[in-house]
Amino acid sequence: MSDKIKLDVTMKCKADSYRQANNLCIVEEVVPIPDADFLEMAAYPCRDNPHIKLHKDSMYADSIAMHCVLFIAEKQGDGFLVESEGYDYARYSQYIPHAADIVAGQAIRLNGDNKNTLETAVAGRLADIIDEMKGANDYCLSYEQFMSDEKIAECVIDYARHLIDTRSEFSGLTIDPGNGFVEFGQEELKTVRLISPLRVTTYDQDSGNDENLSMTHAACYRHYINSAISEYMEDEEKERGLMHWYGENDSLNNKVYSAFPSVEVIDRKLTGVTTLRVHGELTNEEQNALNNYLSGQYSDGWGEGFEQREIETGDRDCPEIYVSFWNPEDFEFTVEDEQQPEQGLSM
């Protein structure tokens, strides 16, 4: 999706005011549907549609507003707002770009009521404390004076529960209202390995040109390359590897704890391996986002610097090599199967 929000609306010229909404629509249901079904609904709004038929009882108009159902494409994220007036087709409709983002934002704002409730509870407790200490010259407030208040404790626990519930790497959320406990577990970290092609070159003294090495030949330099990778990693990368630079506060950052590049010999050929430590399973969208991020790191970020690093091999015929994790002509990540890589072919 584009970073800019696009709205399909009719603008009013020199409007008198907007003190009152003249065309209020209230969304009674938000219904995700497959992208193919969504495209058909949007392309042929006047055709009878099984999704509209299933939810038409939620659509009606009264003196206050049109009460609608918002159908959202599951992957693409746009929406189609419908009030069918009891029919099986979209008698009244509007296309809503970025509907999934709007719905997600509304959920966040609704949850913001917790903040207002917490502020109210804290203000009330503060008034009680000050009232209890009337006549004192100095006031001293402690955390215990606030957290012992049941309303404040409930608000804090409720908000913490919401934050935990939105994190996909957590599971088993349970609540003990009596004791104020929120119990949850984190999906165990598992190892996932992404396989990708390499390009290894050396400088040919005779021709004065760079020469590409075959991956079978380059396999014997595996240990030298991995040592160079280890030396090249920055201190801040040692815990999470390339994920240190990800920078987005999203589900991918929550699920993928670390990503470390290395090389290994697979089927007697030198191969790039990115070892991930992951909470749970990645969705297709998350896997694609991860692949795009790592591709960017290998082409323009971490990999661009590493491929310029001279690696000494101690080999008289090939004393220095350069290793690139990026090959624009034939690059893709594949998830390794259960087969273990070969460990042979060392000098």
Q: pLDDT per residue over 57-116, tens digit each?
A: 989 988 778 899 999 998 888 999 999 999 999 999 999 988 888 887 665 444 445 555
What's the pLDDT band for 44 if we cut at 50, 70, 90? very high
Q: Does residue 301 surpass a pLDDT of 70?
A: yes
Nearest CA among 298, 240, 243 for reference residue 272: 298
Q: Does residue 345 surpass a pLDDT of 50?
A: no
- Please tell me the predicted confidence (pLDDT) of residue 52: 93
Average pLDDT over residues 228-241: 93
Q: Which amino acid is at 343?
A: Q
Place of tokens 């996932």: 192
Q: Which long-range contacts (CB under 8 A, 24 or more apart) does 285-289 make?
A: 285/75, 286/251, 286/252, 286/255, 289/252
Percent of the chain with pLDDT over 90: 44
* Separation between Cα atoms, residue 33 and residue 39, nearest integer Å: 10
For residue range 106-165, list pLDDT tens digits in order. 654 444 455 556 666 777 777 777 677 766 666 677 767 776 777 777 776 666 666 665
Q: Does residue 12 surpass a pLDDT of 80?
A: no
The reply to whether the predicted model has a pTM over 0.75 is: no
* Separation between Cα atoms, residue 23 and residue 7, nearest integer Å: 16
Place of tokens 């419908």: 82
Mean model confidence pLDDT for the chain: 81
| Higher pLDDT among residues 53 and 166, named by residue | 53
* Separation between Cα atoms, residue 95 and residue 82, nearest integer Å: 9
For residue range 244-300, list pLDDT tens digits in order. 999 887 889 888 999 999 999 999 999 999 999 998 888 899 999 999 999 999 998
DSSP-derived secondary structure letter, 13: S
| Higher pLDDT among residues 328 and 39, named by residue | 39
Angle at 165 between CA 162 and CA 170, to 5 degrees: 145
DSSP-derived secondary structure letter, 88: S
Q: Chain centroid to CA 49: how far?
A: 33
- Please tell me the predicted confidence (pLDDT) of residue 292: 94
246: helix, strand or coil: coil
Q: Does residue 168 surpass a pLDDT of 50?
A: yes
**Torsion, CA 309, CA 313, CA 319, CA 322, rounded to 10:** -30
- Please tell me the predicted confidence (pLDDT) of residue 341: 43
- Please tell me the predicted confidence (pLDDT) of residue 340: 42
- Please tell me the predicted confidence (pLDDT) of residue 263: 97
- Please tell me the predicted confidence (pLDDT) of residue 152: 72
* Separation between Cα atoms, residue 45 and residue 90, nearest integer Å: 5
* Separation between Cα atoms, residue 302 and residue 77, nearest integer Å: 32
**Torsion, CA 215, CA 221, CA 222, CA 223, rounded to 10:** 180
Ramachandran angles phi, psi of 338, nearest 5°: -75, -10
